[in-house]
Structure formats: C-alpha cells, structure tokens
Amino acid sequence: MMKMKLSQRIGIKIYSTSLNTTALISPAKAAEKAFRIFCSPTITSVFPEPDIFKKAEKKQLQLDGLQIYGWYWKQEKQNRPKVLIAHGFNSCSFKFEKYVLQLLKNGFEVLAFDAPAHGKSEGKQVHALMYKELILKINYTYGNLYGIIGHSFGGLAASFAAESLPELKKLVLIAPATETTTAISQFFKLLKLKEDIRPEFEKKLISLAKLPLSYFSAIRSVSNISVNTLWLHDTLDLICPFEDASKIRDLNLNHVQFYETTGLGHNKIYRDQSVSKLIIKFVSMT
C-alpha cells in the first residue's frame, strides 16, 4: 500500500463524509461531485524546467476554451518523423527530459504538451477524451505523428487517439491506465464511497462521452488498431494493475510487443534506463 501524508488522509476523510452524506439525499448529485474529484489532479506544483525545454519552441493550443502549453523540438533536416510524449495523471512534460534528449539524438522531432489541469496548462479537470482530443489536435496542427510515447493516463488517451490516426507508425504504452472500470473501483475504495453512487457515476461518464463504458479500455482500443505497439508494464504496479494489462499479452496480437518488469512499479518503470533504451530502440527501428 502507498503511504499517504496526514493532509491527504484528512482530505480523503472530508470528501468521503461529504459525498456519502450527499448520497443520502441524491446519489446523482453525489456522483456529479465525485466525478469532478475523479478528474481533478492533486499535484499542482510545477516541476523545475530542464535545460532542454529552454531550447524548444514554445507552443500554445486552445482546447475547450483552455490554453494548453507545449514544446516543439525540430531538427535541422526537414521532414523528420515526429514523436509525441504524453505524460500521466499528476505529472507533466518536464519529467520526460531523458526521452526528449534520446529522441533528438536519434533524429526525431519531438513534441510534448502538458495536459489540461497539468503543468503549465490551464484547467481544473481532465478526462481521457479531453486528452485524446488534445493529441489529435497536436497531430493535425503540427503534421502527422510518426509515434506516441504515453505513460499511465497519457497511455490510455494515446491508445484512444491511435484509433483515429491512420498514419501513426509506433505506439509506446508505459504502464497505461488499462481499464477505466478498475480506476473507478480504486477511486471508490479509496474514498470509501457508497455503492449506490456508482451507477450514477458511470451514468455521468456515459452521458458525457456518449459512449458505452466498455469504450474506456486500452485493451479494446489496442485490439482495434494495427499500429506497431510496445506495451510495458510492471508486475507490481499498484496504480494500473498488471492483472488488467496481462490480458493484452494473453491475446497474442501480432502488432503488440508486451514487455514486463518486476519491482519498478508504476512510475520508476519509465525512468528506468533499460526500459528507456528499449523504448528508443523500438521507436527508431524501421
């Protein structure tokens, strides 16, 4: 189990009491409040800017009325393949400095944007469809992406976006948020929410997306594409359980390479040197 600070435990207790009390009167209102919390990052501090980011072209995009900030590294040679880095929930682009450096060294142009409500970008909430739309907008604004490297929540959004990107050649999913139903279950368990809130919560998601709950699955989206995909997952991942991810391995899809680690968990996996080397090699292979 992850250790939580006292302030985090107090915050969870407050949310739990408030939502469960609201549910006694209106499960629908409790579900609406719970959904806002579910989509709200808890880390708001900005990670220190690495030197390589100071050398990038600063970019801005509008998404649902929000100002989204990003970075674009070009090569001297024109028409070099473009790779997008999509960070996870409670993260930011700055944490992927090493990937930017290695991709540039291997001749790629690189794009990285902070998701809504993350890093330097505006907003208070974000969900997977918003992130998907951001990825698609980046693709259409700066030219067809050759590859996407997505971690966690960014991996889930990238897998959704890949279904609408026929020109995409490489997709890397590092510990992707595999099943949204699992994430919802973890959220309800963490906040100790009454189960009568959950049907209304799921109804809210379905109404927002105008899609069935089964849509929100990386297994579904990756099974629905033919993009050359590298999926990396740690057997001890407590955030995005390996049990969910192993289902894609068991499908033995021709376009998917599955690589498992043990002991790196959910965040150390993308920082691990052997993992990053494997990713860069995969993206660079023709």
pLDDT at residue 144 in the model: 96
Q: Give the number of other CB atoms < 10 A from CB of residue 133.
A: 17
CATH 3.40.50.1820 is right for the domain spanning 45-179+217-284: yes
Asked whether the beta carbons of 282 and 170 are under 8 A apart, the reply is yes
pTM across the whole model: 0.94
pLDDT in tens, 250-269: 999 999 999 999 999 999 99
| Residue bearing tokens 């690495």 | 50
Cα 47 from chain centroid (whole Å): 17
Which pLDDT value is given to residue 46?
73
**Which residues of the chain fall below pLDDT 70?**
1-11, 44
Decide: 259 and 224 in contact? Cβ < 8 Å. Answer: no
- Give the per-residue pLDDT at 13: 84
Encode pLDDT of 204-235 as tens digits. 999 999 999 999 999 999 999 999 999 999 99
Decide if 151 contacts 88 (C-beta within 8 A).
yes
pLDDT in the model for residue 43 = 81
Give me the residue label for tokens 């976006």.
Answer: 161
Q: Interhelix angle for 180-191 vs 6-25, to 10°?
A: 100
Q: What is the DSSP string of the chain?
A: -----HHHHHHHHHHHHHHHHHHHH-HHHHHHHHHHHHTS-S--PPPPPPHHHHTSEEEEEEETTEEEEEEEE--SSSS--EEEEE--TT--GGGGHHHHHHHHHTT-EEEEEPPTTSTTS--S---HHHHHHHHHHHHHHH---SEEEEETHHHHHHHHHHTT-TT--EEEEES---BHHHHHHHHHHHHT--GGGHHHHHHHHHHHHTS-GGGSBHHHHHHT--SEEEEEEETT-TTTTHHHHHHHHHHT-TTEEEEEESS-TTTHHHH-HHHHHHHHHHHH--
Average pLDDT of the chain to the nearest whole number? 94
